[in-house]
Chains A and B, each alone.
Chain A
Amino acid sequence: MNREWAAILRSKWFPASVGITAALAIAGLLVGFVVLPLADRNEQFHSVWDAICSAAGLIQNAAREPVVQANYPTTRVELTPRMLRGASAESIGRGATLALRCTMCHGARGLSEANTPNLAGQYAVVIYKQLMDFKTGARVSAVMAPLVGDLSDQDMRDLAAYYAYLPRVPASRPAGEPPQIVASGAPLRSIAPCGACHGELASKPGAAWLEGQPFDYLRTQLQDFASGARRNDIGEQMRNVARGMTVAEIDAASRFYAGLRGPTGSQADASSKQH
């Protein structure tokens, strides 16, 4: 072995191979780290060292661009996966008392008779976030806004705990396959299946439990997300979905989650006759 190494070191192979490899590497480094970055007109480097650092992937002197502010009120709530888990009985009890003011529209136990959304069994983060958004004006509702003005942060947490604790509407799944937009989304339009966020396949913090909500409410929300009338969703998650949906798909998804059967408009008429 050592004799072999000695032979290699003595032969011309050693200087030749090492030399060629090193020359190539050095040439590559020079071009890649100095010549090309300096030739790039879009970049303004203060020095050669800057150019080298940039080519090496170091973030340096990155221009501090001002954060773009939306010209409308956005949500102030930051969601985390474990937020509002494990409410105390005391909190639920206080929530129940506070909820007395809500019963006339949202129903005695969070199940609405009218077209107001059901709150029973809704995720606590959703209730909390929506109440906060009504209060800050991020979500606009002439009805809800005056009702939340005097609620403290703790009040909202208690209400959230209470409604999350109530049992949900018994599921009434329409027979047959769910509409394609619900089951598969629309990959070509970058729409994930609704269930990927709304609780069938997976649930993303802040995305509401939709099943059993009134048809009109669901459809209005989707239309509002699409038109931009509702824009309290963080990162435009829901607006990006709704904007890509067709009118028929909005209709079909709303019907599905409202527990209505059949794909066409005749049933929608039936539902509006209910009230």
Chain B
Amino acid sequence: MILAHFWLAFAGFGAALPLGAWQMYIRSPLHGWISDPEWYYRSVTAHGTTMAYVFPTLVAMGFGYFVAEAALQRPLIGLRWAWLGFALVVIGTVTAIIPVALGLASVLYTFYPPMIGNPFYYIGVVLVVVGSWIWVALMGINMQRWKRDNPGTPVPFPMFATVAGAYLWGWTAVGAALELLFQIIPAALGLSRTIDAGLARVFFSWTLHAIVYFWLMPTYIAYYTILPRAIGGRLYSDAMGRLSFILFLVVAMPIGVHHLFADPEVGSGFKFLHSVFTALVALPTLLTVFTICASVEIAGRLRGGKGVLGWLAALPWRNPVMLGAALSFVMLGFGGAGGLINMSYQLDSTIHNTQWVTGHFHLIFGGAIVIMYFVIAYDLWPHLTGRSLDSLGLMRAQLWTWFVGMIVLTFPWHYVGILGMPRRMAFYDYSDPVIAAQAASVTMSVIGAAILVVSGALFFLVLARGHAAPRTAPPAYRFSVAVRPPRALPAALNGFGLWLGLMIALTLVNYGFPIAHLLATPGTAVPTVNVGALR
């Protein structure tokens, strides 16, 4: 079942990756204008929907089920429900992708109301979300039952972190679900000819920020629970880890209005309030960076590294987990620096809706996050298949090419954004002197894209070789152990009641008024614009 989740996730990824490369090629000076931009938007919708919804959701689900079994050391409760959730995701994906492929729903993954596409696209997305909610519920139930059966014992940290991610997703997906169920789907079914696009954007922002942290969760969990073990070290602090995930849960959610800085329908006061909490998200990130660096240092010293930097040299660099995590950290660092610019109200206005934004999230998401998805797959595969993965050299090559490709792809991509190149456009006339200077940068990005496609192929090669390898009996799976494993924890650090309460309360404070106000204001709806429909 876990393997099914991972394989479906990577199959989607494998299908959407060449689309990304094709898009970059179309936008580059290597290709003339496509006469019908519809094809571009069709492709971007398929690429974005798969990469942003289907792929990370399935990875989180599969990894979550794995953690529940491996960390709690007992079979998953609700296996049938898990299969049902999986089936919903499969059906939803197929339902959504068919209208996209037919060109009936080229609305991009952010839905972009008042554009309205074929209802099946949205229904498919809702099914994927509902499938993932089953997973959220199962994660919660499995933790609760375990606590009931093991009173007084701290919940193992991997499970604690996983449940934090699940709850974060459960609540943040509500925004987009409300938008889809009450606004977009009625319009797509023809029950309504108008839509309040401003309100829809507010709902979507509710989802849009924290979805980023949902994508990030498996990566962070891997940093904390796989990396230290894989390199022979220990997790520096269990409590610090718990605190980071709790902070993500509380403050990552109600800050989405920072995606609406340029929107007039939200008052400036709320924009400021959301910015305050946005700045706070830096806290768990810094905690994580600190804890992970400390854990890695411990490993280096245990391996005999001496001096201020000697422990770095002593690290097992040939170990794919070490390598992948280090490359991921580097990309996270660059991406984080760029994120500071997006975060600021003033600087944001210079890069708003430019290719800077796409460059930025490819570096963080496609780079730092996805490279850890590869690492997770490499680490779990022997336990999922009962066959060992031996192509270590190939793995290293794959991780390196992903890193290099991502840098070559995204650095020029950021740069053309600063020059003002708009995102989500299929046409660029490089013979126009205004943008002629951007031609070389985009060509560079195409080269990066090609490297990434090769790297993606290597990834599948490694996994395929694993499936072909002879059966072995891998030792029981282990997660990292903390330097001081907790014996007893304060109740607050062993459950989520308090934190969920705070998360919901903050959401009400930060979103309640803007939503109520837009709902109560008459005349905010605009006519829908149906895409792909005959007029």
Contact = CB atoms under 8 A, between A and B. Distances in A.
A92 B271 CA distance: 57
The 5 A-B pairs at the shortest CB distance, nearest first, are namely A57-B267, A55-B269, A32-B272, A13-B492, A7-B491
Interface string A204-247: 00000000000000000000000000000000000000000000
Contacts of A18: 502
Contact of A24 (B37, B267, B280): B280
A253 interface: no
Interface string A47-69: 00000101111100000000000
A160 B509 CA distance: 57
Interface in A70-118: none
A5 B497 contact: yes
Nearest to B265: A57
B273 A25 contact: yes
Given A58-B517, A187-B429, A36 B272 contact: yes
A177 B35 contact: yes
Interface string B469-495: 000000000000000000000111111
23 contacts: A4-B495, A7-B491, A11-B491, A13-B490, A13-B493, A17-B498, A29-B273, A32-B268, A36-B268, A36-B269, A37-B269, A56-B513, A56-B517, A57-B266, A58-B267, A177-B35, A180-B33, A183-B35, A184-B427, A186-B429, A187-B428, A188-B429, A202-B535
A265 interface: no
B308 interface: no
Contacts of B272: 28, 31-33, 36, 55
A28 B35 contact: no
B84 interface: no
Contacts of A11: 490-492
B191 interface: no
A21 B535 contact: no
Interface residues of A, number: 36
Interface of B: 33, 35, 37, 144, 250, 265-273, 276-277, 280, 425, 427-429, 432, 434-435, 490-495, 497-499, 502, 505-506, 509, 513-514, 517, 535
A27 to B, nearest CB: 8
B267 A21 contact: no
Contacts of A28: 272-273, 276-277
Interface string A1-16: 1001101100101100
A28 B510 CA distance: 10
A136 interface: no
A203 interface: yes
A1 B238 CA distance: 23
B502 A4 contact: no
A33 B434 contact: no
Contacts of A52: 269
A21 B271 CA distance: 18
Contacts of B35: 177, 183-184
B491 A21 contact: no
Given A32-B270, A32-B273, A187-B427, A57 B517 contact: yes
A249 to B, nearest CB: 13
Contact of B270 (A31, A56, A183, A202): A56
Contacts of A58: 267, 517
Contacts of B429: 186-188
Contacts of B280: 24
A273 to B, nearest CB: 33
Contacts of B266: 57
Contacts of A202: 535
A155 to B, nearest CB: 30
A30 B483 CA distance: 43
Contacts of B514: 57
Contacts of A24: 276-277, 280
Nearest to A59: B521
Given A11-B490, A58-B267, A21 B495 contact: no
A245 to B, nearest CB: 14
Contacts of A54: 267-268
A72 B327 CA distance: 65
Interface in A119-166: none
A193 B514 CA distance: 37
Given A21-B506, A56-B513, A58-B267, 16 more contacts: A1-B144, A4-B497, A7-B491, A8-B495, A17-B498, A18-B502, A24-B277, A25-B506, A32-B269, A55-B272, A177-B35, A180-B33, A184-B37, A187-B429, A188-B432, A202-B535
A224 B506 CA distance: 58
A25 B509 contact: yes
Residue of A5, A32, A36 contacting most chain B CB atoms (<10 Å)? A32
Contacts of B490: 7, 11, 13
A184 B33 contact: yes
A18 B270 CA distance: 20
Nearest to B513: A56
Nearest to A21: B502
A17 B276 CA distance: 17
Nearest to B495: A4
Contacts of A32: 268-273, 276
A56 B427 contact: no
Given A28-B277, A203-B535, A55 B267 contact: yes
Contacts of A1: 144, 497
The winner among B265, B427, B514 for most chain A CB atoms within 10 A is B427
Contact of A29 (B269, B492, B494): B269
A37 B33 contact: no
B33 A57 contact: no
B268 A37 contact: yes
A15 B147 CA distance: 24
Contacts of B497: 1, 4-5, 8
A83 B37 CA distance: 31
B440 to A, nearest CB: 18
A122 B519 CA distance: 42
Nearest to B429: A188
Contacts of A5: 497
Contacts of A25: 273, 506, 509
Most buried by B among A8, A31, A183: A8
A244 to B, nearest CB: 12
A21 B505 CA distance: 10
Contacts of A8: 491-492, 495, 497-498
A36 to B, nearest CB: 6
Contacts of B250: 21
Nearest to B498: A8
